[in-house]
Amino acid sequence: MKISFCEHNEGIEEVVEAIRNEYPECTVTLNKCIGACDKCGTTLIARINGKLVEAEVCEDLLDIIGEYMELEEI
């Protein structure tokens, strides 16, 4: 699974570190932009295999990513 984050998205560092620790099999990248500039300043965002996902807090984004990981195992 490929997960991309915008390097300008405030607060995303905690999510990136948790993903790298919990799911080392994932490819995690920090990019200059992931094409969601209108949301980047107000919410935590990521692209999971090309699909944009967002959450208000780190724990919620980690839960969403965990759900994607479970689906990929099926």
Task: Check: pTM over 0.75? Answer yes or no.
Answer: yes
Can you give the pLDDT of all 74 residues of the chain as single tens digits? 999 999 999 889 999 999 999 999 999 999 999 999 888 888 999 999 999 999 999 999 999 999 999 988 75
DSSP 5-68: EETTSTTHHHHHHHHHHH-TTSEEEEES--S-HHHHTTSEEEEETTEEEEESSHHHHHHHHHHH
